[in-house]
Amino acid sequence: MDILVVGSVAFDSVETPFGRAEDVLGGSATYFSASASYFAKVNLVAVVGEDFSEEHIRVFNEKDIDIKGLKRVNGRTFRWKGRYDYDLNQAHTIDTQLNVFSNFDPVLPEEYRDIPYVFLANIDPELQLKVLEQVRKPMFVACDTMNFWIEGKYDALRELLRYVDLFVINESEAREFAREPSLVKAARFILDCGPGILIIKRGEYGALMFNGRSVFSAPAYPLEDIYDPTGAGDSFAGGLMGYIAYTGDVGEENLRKAIIFGSVMASFNVESFSLDRLRNLTMNDIHTRYREFKRLTHFEDI
């Protein structure tokens, strides 16, 4: 079934110990869409400026992503500049330029309003709320955020959490949001804000899911070479939501599989800068790595 995503479409400038990229295609909704497109039809809501070219549009077309909701307006596309040191889990933001996102008022095309799976990718929580107000009875709503919004729009984010089924957040941001150093206590705090399910992304240490009384821990794939972690969180969310939308099943067992598909997509994404790897995968690549994950964590009962 279809997925609706709202989030950033951006030009990123990224520096890692292994190289750099200048003004390359990025953004939370971009990474999410490319990743989820392997599992389900994705419909995108975002805004770009006049500097967004046909070549960039081709990336969405290639993956059959519906961009009726991608508005092009006067001005410059959103820009993010970041740096990673040897600890690739921690992105250091050098500069954020909202540009066309500062005045963006998302209006959903009529046919987007009945889409059953909704992902509110990292963007201003006020815009995430505006999108949510326009959809009619979605089956499952998930959202992401980052420290920039926790620090700048805390109240809007708290409000948003009342209406989502699943919240996906980084480990350090979960602690920051809950103002609580213990991850388990932070998780309880966040669940009390509304979402039934919480997934905490832990970079190269994997992900933790809190679902009611159950806790599930998934590893990350032990890659030999990581070039650029940008978009790992969004491609994780893309694989996760893509698999949920493909199966239509939000039971605990299926959610565990979905988390592994998310981890598979994130592991491919960090093997290159921008979307270079995500653009060229096959279902066979994805399934092969899924099975490697299974072997990685399998052990017998005592």
Distance CA 37, CA 160 (A): 25
Binding residues (CB under 6 A) for ligand AMP: these are 8, 10, 12, 26-28, 31, 80, 96, 122-123, 146, 148, 230-234
Nearer to ligand AMP, 80 or 293 (CB): 80
Q: What are the beta bridge partners of residue 20?
A: 15
Measured CA to CA, the distance from residue 157 to residue 179 in angstroms comes to 14
**Distance of closest approach, residue 249 Cβ to ligand AMP, in angstroms:** 25
CA 144, CA 29: separation in Å to the nearest integer?
Answer: 11
Q: How many CB atoms lie within 10 A of CB 69?
A: 21
Closer to ligand AMP at the Cβ: 147 or 247?
147
Do residues 175 and 201 lie in contact, with contact meaning Cβ atoms separated by under 8 Å? no
Give whole-number Cα distances, 22 to 58, 72, 99, 155, in Å.
Answer: 19, 22, 17, 34
Nearest distance in Å: CB 60, ligand AMP: 15
Residue 26 C-beta: closest distance to ligand AMP, Å: 3
Tell me whether residue 192 or residue 205 sits nearer to ligand AMP (CB atom).
205
Angstrom distances, CA of residue 164 to CA of 59, 118, 197, 209: 29, 9, 9, 15
Query: Least Å distance between CB 157 and ligand AMP?
Result: 12
In angstroms, the CA 99 to CA 153 distance is 18
CB of 7 to ligand AMP, least distance (A): 7
Q: Which is nearer to ligand AMP, 225 or 300 (CB)?
A: 225
Cβ nearer to ligand AMP, comparing 101 with 246: 101
